Structure 1
Amino acid sequence: MSQSTDRKKTTLLKFAVAVASSLAATAAIAQPLDVVKIGWPAGFASNMAHLTFGKELGLFKDENLDYEVVSMQGTYPVIQQILSGGFDTGYVGVETVVNALQPGATPLPLKFVFNYTRQSIWEIVVPEASPIKTLADLKGKTIGIAGPTFGNVPVTKAALGAVGIQPNQFTFFTVGSGGPAFRAMTTGQVDALNLWDTMHATLEATGFKLREIKPPAEFEGNPSHGFAVRDDLIKNKPEFVARFGRAIAKSIVACDANLEECIKSFWRAYPAQKPQGPENEAMAKEHKILSARMKKLMYFGPGEKPLMGSFTDAQWQGVIKSLKLGGVISVTDLPMDKLYTNRFVADFNKFDRADVIKRAKAATK
């Protein structure tokens, strides 16, 4: 065989390898992203900015993911959609699975995989000049809530029950959120608001001074929300769950590293949500609001390992104890493996935190 023929064969072989590699790369690039359908128990606001920032930075795409977020009115509609397969996951209240394991209730075929709001977002606030100083002072009062399906309802009943106030000794009044809720407070239609951290921060950003009524000590430090998924999804698509949680973890870290650009990413995704007026004033307001939420997302108790998404038995026991104290539940000896799993926590945290922070800080436009 001549050297010329050998060279031709070698050239053809190299060409074939190059074409194959190119096709493989093209196929990889063209591979469609898996879409995570997420239920959100409230309207869209800057407290979800870590999602938009994570998307802009490519943190979801790094996991071969995209997402769709659907707004619902409260935790229970989101739970229903998760169970029916309408959502893959949702940001929902942890009390749901505890309540579902009580006598006469129907256990839910899902569990929590990611501890999201590591400190409770639910707050009870009053005008700064209000004579109401403690939970006990709410006896006979009207408390504004976003709606009866929101997760604060059983938690607040428990907190009031813990100080001896029975359900017939106060009134929940639905005020929604945003403007209607603020008007209910400022006009005296309600004595207190029982919404969430960022909603109260939004009201304070307008110049209206609020004072928080602290819950009993047993309620302090308890998580309020996590991402829950069906048991069959955990069994059949564990890597999907792992990739989703890792994308969420990275996005939270990124947002915390560059709060201002995180907020701007939310405005770019949802321009109608950008506050009116000069941008510096809008940013100052949103910065205060999002800061309130990031404290909850990045909270770790004394001695707790800073592992994003992780739960502890002690945290769940705190939730259970508080609900029992308030008379919302009767059975407290519950199987932890029916409530949550830390199976994916190592995977959630399998990323270069320094690199994520670097990407976040470099994103300033």
Structure 2
Amino acid sequence: MKFTTRRRAAIPAALIALTALTACGQPVPGVGAPDGDKVVITLSAKTWNAGLASLAVSERRGYFADENLNVSFVLLDGATIQAQQVATDNATVGAITPEPVIFGDQPSKRLGLRYFSSFYRKNIYGLRVPANSPIKSLADLRGKRIGAASLGSAAVTNVKVALRDAGIPEKAVNFVAIGTGAQQATALKNRDVDAVALFDTQFQIMENSGIRLRRIAMPKIDELAGGGLAATSANLRKDPALFARIGRAVAKGVVFAQANPKAAIDDLYAAHPDARNPALPPQKARANDTKVLQTRMYTLGVQPGERQWGILKADELQRNIDYMTRAGLITEKVAVNSVFTSELTGQINDFDAAAIQAEAKRAAS
């Protein structure tokens, strides 16, 4: 299936403006079957990291090749830009968090994106404090400083809505931009902030640096869906078998990584050497990244009590629509069935998961 670049007049101006201001990542040479169907997948990341290791597994173990796919990955700084690239057919699929997909489905926007598989089944964002902090609940945050990677982060919006739901004025707390990487740990160690609103793997990286954290519950927010693999509705209708194959190749990597995260990290390093932290001894870097991947598998892996990967449920996505309405992020009605389809779940899981798990157990760890 050939994807061509075209422009949709209905794409929100904010998306186009943001894309113009941000350098889009360039796809690397494809992996998988050299003569397979060309597929471009966008990821919201600046660099390859442990949270993406399951995709490296699909590269290294030939799962993309098995599905006759030639896959190029594009790393982009944010879900909004991912949505724009998928909507204009510059990318085939995006692993996208819900906000831009739901925003773009408002009748006046008509971005036309639809999930065909979950990716982050649960909300990856959260709120945590040092383990010995006196802060026990949202109510204890009055007058406190909350650090986030940037003030425009979805993590900040999550906390603001959680505070509002709890009857706490947004102005009762101060949000502070603390950057990424080591800057986040430094801000907490130096007590520049009292709490941090980040996503799952960032919390684990801080734990790896020696900072013990404790979760602060955010009712309703913690129950949000985390996002999924999205494509345009038109392309899903045109070639559903292609997207089932993409989802199946991704699912195999997830099943492997869940069964043997250490081997998945080895695949990540082999496929993307820059993912390993050169400042640490190799075994320490591997141990740290394994913990990061295990944290990500909590939201990415096959969920407890379920046998299939990539399950999508209307009630889970409806919570995100309701959340965005309360947050003022959307002002028009969005029908949950227009932003997702579960029709491909069975085809995506049409492989021998036990054989993948056995392969993972045989891999060196």
Q: Do the structures match in fold with TM over 0.5?
A: yes
Normalised by the size of structure 2, how large is the TM-score?
Answer: 0.82
Q: Tell me, yes or no, if structure 1 residue 98 matches structure 2 residue 99.
A: no
> Which residue of the partner structure matches residue 147 of structure 2?
144
- The one-letter amino acid of 1:88's match is T
| Superposition pairs of residues 282-297 of structure 1, within 5 angstroms | 282-297=285-300
- The one-letter amino acid of 1:94's match is P
Could you say what secondary structure the match of 1:111 adopts?
strand
Per-residue deviation, 1:265: 0.9
Query: For residues 363 and 35 of structure 1, what CA distance do their matches in structure 2 show?
Result: 29
Distance 1:30 1:194, change over 3 A: closer
> Which residue of the partner structure matches residue 42 of structure 1?
45
Query: For residues 214 and 283 of structure 1, what CA distance do their matches in structure 2 show?
Result: 30
Could you say what secondary structure the match of 1:60 adopts?
helix
> Which residue of the partner structure matches residue 176 of structure 1?
179
> Which residue of the partner structure matches residue 349 of structure 2?
349
Per-residue deviation, 1:110: 0.7
Out of 253, 256, 260, the residue aligned to residue 254 of structure 1 is 256
> Which residue of the partner structure matches residue 270 of structure 1?
272
Matched-pair identity in %: 30
Distance 1:174 1:68, change over 3 A: farther
Per-residue deviation, 1:200: 0.7
Question: Residue by residue, what CA displacement relative to the aligned partner does 1:294-323 show, whole Å, maximum 9, x if unpaired?
Answer: 111125366xx4321121112122323444
- The answer (yes or no) to whether the contact 1:36–1:68 under 8 Å persists in 2 is yes
- The one-letter amino acid of 1:202's match is I
Query: For residues 33 and 192 of structure 2, what CA distance do their matches in structure 1 show?
Result: 56
- The one-letter amino acid of 1:113's match is F
> Which residue of the partner structure matches residue 119 of structure 2?
116
Count how many residue pairs are aligned between Structure 1 and Structure 2. 332
Query: Unaligned regions of 5+ residues in structure 2, if any?
Result: 1-31
> Which residue of the partner structure matches residue 234 of structure 1?
236
Distance 1:230 1:66, change over 3 A: same
| Superposition pairs of residues 196-345 of structure 1, within 5 angstroms | 196-216=199-219, 218-275=220-277, 276-298=279-301, 300=303, 305-324=306-325, 334-345=334-345
Distance 1:30 1:77, change over 3 A: closer
Question: Residue by residue, what CA displacement relative to the aligned partner does 1:99-144 show, whole Å, maximum 9, x if unpaired?
Answer: 34568x6232111111111121111112223332212223343322
Out of 107, 112, 135, the residue aligned to residue 110 of structure 2 is 107
Query: For residues 102 and 172 of structure 1, what CA distance do their matches in structure 2 show?
Result: 29
Query: For residues 168 and 280 of structure 1, what CA distance do their matches in structure 2 show?
Result: 45
Out of 54, 58, 73, the residue aligned to residue 54 of structure 1 is 58
Could you say what secondary structure the match of 2:41 adopts?
strand
Question: Residue by residue, what CA displacement relative to the aligned partner does 1:312-336 show, whole Å, maximum 9, x if unpaired?
Answer: 11212232344455565566x6422
Per-residue deviation, 1:30: 8.3
- The answer (yes or no) to whether the contact 1:121–1:296 under 8 Å persists in 2 is yes
- The answer (yes or no) to whether the contact 1:92–1:227 under 8 Å persists in 2 is yes
Per-residue deviation, 1:153: 3.9
- The answer (yes or no) to whether the contact 1:74–1:150 under 8 Å persists in 2 is no
Query: For residues 236 and 328 of structure 1, what CA distance do their matches in structure 2 show?
Result: 31
Query: Unaligned regions of 5+ residues in structure 1, if any?
Result: 1-28
More helix by share: 1
Per-residue deviation, 1:340: 0.6
Question: Residue by residue, what CA displacement relative to the aligned partner does 1:152-211 show, whole Å, maximum 9, x if unpaired?
Answer: 343333222211234444343333321222222222233322111111101101111111
The structure whose Rg is larger is 1
Query: For residues 299 and 148 of structure 1, what CA distance do their matches in structure 2 show?
Result: 32
> Which residue of the partner structure matches residue 15 of structure 2?
none
Alpha-carbon RMSD: 2.5
Per-residue deviation, 1:342: 0.8
- The answer (yes or no) to whether the contact 2:318–2:336 under 8 Å persists in 1 is no
Distance 1:281 1:168, change over 3 A: same
Query: For residues 110 and 198 of structure 1, what CA distance do their matches in structure 2 show?
Result: 26
Query: For residues 175 and 90 of structure 2, what CA distance do their matches in structure 1 show?
Result: 30
Distance 1:231 1:179, change over 3 A: same
Query: For residues 239 and 153 of structure 1, what CA distance do their matches in structure 2 show?
Result: 38
- The answer (yes or no) to whether the contact 1:76–1:149 under 8 Å persists in 2 is no
- The answer (yes or no) to whether the contact 2:124–2:299 under 8 Å persists in 1 is yes
Normalised by the size of structure 1, how large is the TM-score?
Answer: 0.82
Question: Residue by residue, what CA displacement relative to the aligned partner does 1:78-104 show, whole Å, maximum 9, x if unpaired?
Answer: 11222222221212111333334568x
Could you say what secondary structure the match of 2:295 adopts?
helix
Could you say what secondary structure the match of 1:320 adopts?
helix
Query: For residues 85 and 198 of structure 1, what CA distance do their matches in structure 2 show?
Result: 29
- The answer (yes or no) to whether the contact 2:204–2:291 under 8 Å persists in 1 is yes
